[in-house]
Amino acid sequence: MAQKLRQRLGPRILFGVIAIVIIAAIFWSLRTPPIDVDAADVIEAPLMITIDDEGETRVQDMFVVSAPINGRLLRINLDAGDPVVAGQTIVARIMPAQPDFLNLRSETETRAQVQALQAAVQSSASRISQAEADRKLAAANFERIDTIYKRGFATKTAHDASRAALDSSAARLSEARAAHAAAQAELRATQARLIIPSGAGSSDKVLEVKSPESGALLRRIHESETPIAAGAPIVEIGNPSDIEIVTDLLSSDAVKIKPGSEVLIDNWGGDKPLKGKVQRIEPFGFTKISALGVEEQRVNVIIDFVEPEKARERLGHGYRVIVRVVEWSGDNILQVPISALFRDKGQWSVFAMEGGKAHLVRVKVGRMNDERAQILDGLKAGSSVILHPSEKIEDGKRVRLRD
């Protein structure tokens, strides 16, 4: 009997074991493993909202020295960074321009003008002689009339007429002499146009341009000898230690800040950010084309350094920096990384991680910057939230921290 029972139960036990193995294999194949995720804690810490943009350092009071005359600028011996003293240091030397050569037509016309003016000089000299003779005659006539007038043999009318004739002759003589001088001057001016330009000027004709302010030479616009026109810039002068920062912010961002706002100056090359403050927001905006070809209305914002000069002594004129103008800041602000936030059905949400599972939590978000966001409602400090949640994560899904 026992042997027959074993023979009957043997196949059943074997089939049962096989069924259990198959069911276990199906269960393990259908079972979803936990999803690897990254997580961060909800913390209370200071939070700062900033407006970030590129800025450029510049000397506050920069002087551009320009050429006062047309001429040839001689080589500048100063180098950028050399100190200069107001009214003493010679920053440029200019040789006055030589006259241009005349073409054949202009030269012929000028020589004809010279001949005409020489004739005019001779004519005016003749008029002087005539005027002198008339004056001598008028003087003799007046002397004779005056003598007989005093004796009572001439009328007062004749006496007055002789005096008027003497005065008129004197005036005509003065006029003739002035006309002669003007003719001579015009002749000399016209003859000067015939002067042949020389190849080089003498050293005593070089104009020395001195520095208008003490400081340092910032830049040489012209280094080698070159012709230069009056009003053309030559060098730039200023105090490199007295610098400020100018940045052009979007007009929509500029209205959010005010003079005195705190500024963090980063990416300037030092070990830590420098501190500054907004000194002035210019009232005039301008249009600027962005790198994407979009027209933007921007406003220049001037920023002063708060740090001592020693902390920023390596900065100079025209250096690039990143400015972070503080729009708002607070202490003990409940916050999460913005990478944990996403929009679900039009509301801000996060996946909180608790008990090895992801839980969908609706949150109310306040202020946010590029890295963190303020949480007004929905989370507590110490909770963990999942960073960069993918579409695989759903409410109630098993998750685990990534190694």
Does domain 63-96+199-238 sit in CATH 2.40.50.100? yes
The pLDDT of residue 248: 96
The pLDDT of residue 236: 94
Look at residue 173 and tell me whether its pLDDT is greater than 60.
yes
Cβ neighbors of 60 (< 8 A, separation 6 or more) are 238, 239, 242, 243, 244
Enter the pTM of the model: 0.65
The pLDDT of residue 11: 63
pLDDT band at 28 (very low <50, low <70, confident <90, very high): low
Picking from 321, 244, 299, the residue whose alpha carbon sits closest to that of residue 62 is 244
**Would you tell me how many other CB atoms lie within 10 Å of the CB of residue 21?**
10
Cβ-based burial of 340 (10 A; exposed 0-12, middle 13-18, buried ≥19): buried
- Long-range contacts of residues 268-272, Cβ cutoff 8 Å, at least 24 apart: 268/312, 268/315, 268/319, 268/320, 268/321, 268/322, 269/314, 269/315, 269/319, 270/311, 270/312, 270/314
Fold of 54-59+242-327: Elongation Factor Tu (Ef-tu); domain 3 (2.40.30)
Per the CB < 8 A criterion, the answer to whether 92 and 65 are in contact is yes
Fold of 35-50+332-401: 2.40.420
Look at residue 10 and tell me whether its pLDDT is greater than 70.
no
Q: How far apart are CA 131 and CA 62, in angstroms?
A: 63
% of the chain beyond a pLDDT of 70: 91
Per the CB < 8 A criterion, the answer to whether 91 and 65 are in contact is yes
Look at residue 18 and tell me whether its pLDDT is greater than 90.
no
More confident residue, 134 or 303: 303
Look-up of token digits 């208008």: 212
Per the CB < 8 A criterion, the answer to whether 29 and 227 are in contact is no
Range 187-197 average pLDDT: 81
